[in-house]
Amino acid sequence: RVALPAWRMGRWPSRLDAGVVSALTELSRRDRLADGFALRLGERPACDLLEEPGVADEAVSLLAARLFHGGPAESGPGWAPVDWQQYPDEVVDRKWRTEAARLHRVLDTLGVPRASAADPAVPTLARVMEHLSGSGGPGGPGEELAAGIGAAVAREEAATSGLGGPGHGGQEHGGPGHGGPAQGGPGHGGPGHGGPGSGAAEDPLDLWGPGPLPLFPLQPPRTGTELLADHVAAMVCCAAVDTAGAAPGLDWLDGPALLVGGERRADLAAPVLSLVEDGDPDPLLSWLAEVGVRSDKPVRLV
């Protein structure tokens, strides 16, 4: 929930071990059954035995991105580290605005009119809500929009795969971006590997053979309805940030979070699903009114 949104955007959190500690600490605070975590986390951590724990954390974080997402073996264009302080602005906010932009592009493709007659070029939340209202049931506008978003996401992932970017997972281990036997890998004297006799370690994933990455996918592919709900929620969050003074945040257990008045709002999923699955805008309209979000105002997209 925390790492995957960043990986999908071509960013890899460089302190995953520290993030796990924070997540366990938060879990012990929320769940009395996890009280033991807080006690054990107060002990001296094993990483204190390392000369450079930060370097080890970064290496493990990059390896985890390869194992669980199929990311490249090294940083490069389109695959950059991000620290936890940068995560809300560089991952969460960008994720929301990227998904909101994709949502409006698909609406354009479907010929859905803009909600603002005064300035039809501006993207608004009202446009999305008007299109989905009353669309519950099979064959409605929501189903068509979900299919369009699913196709758009698939095209973008395929394009990223073709460039050897993160999340391609379909190429065999050792292909471009994996740091295997391709150029720059072991035996080629590339950076970080060293020439013969240098004592440099080979790519640890060579032990797994030529199987495709990721070796351990974190979750099954999302359905069209799930993708649509994610994109509508992203649009709502953009509108909340731009018109109601909300802010992007990070929850150690749930990932990207919307902060209103400095407090996390975890009650957005149900109103969004009512709109997406049933075509009922009333729960979301009530939520927007409570938070002070203006659905008719333009939002900034990526």
Of 203, 172, 162, 160, nearest to 9 by C-alpha is: 160
Enter the pTM of the model. 0.80
Task: Please say if the pLDDT value at position 182 is more than 50.
Answer: no
Question: Of 26-40, 134-148, 205-219, 264-278, which has the strongest mean pLDDT?
Answer: 264-278
Q: Give pLDDT, residue 145.
A: 95
Q: Give pLDDT, residue 236.
A: 99
CB 257 within 8 A of CB 251: yes
Task: Please say if the pLDDT value at position 168 is more than 60.
Answer: no
Q: Give pLDDT, residue 38.
A: 62
- How many other β-carbons are positioned within 10 Å of the β-carbon of residue 6? 25
- Work out the pLDDT band at 58, boundaries 50, 70, 90: very high
- Work out the pLDDT band at 218, boundaries 50, 70, 90: confident
Average pLDDT over every residue of 225-250: 97
User: Distance between CA 72 and CA 166 in Å, rounded?
Assistant: 6
Kindly report the average pLDDT of the chain as a whole number: 82
Task: Please say if the pLDDT value at position 246 is more than 90.
Answer: yes
Q: Give pLDDT, residue 174.
A: 38
pLDDT tens digits along 250-282: 999 999 999 999 999 999 999 999 999 999 999
Token readout for 24 is 């366990």
Of 269, 288, 268, 275, nearest to 141 by C-alpha is: 275
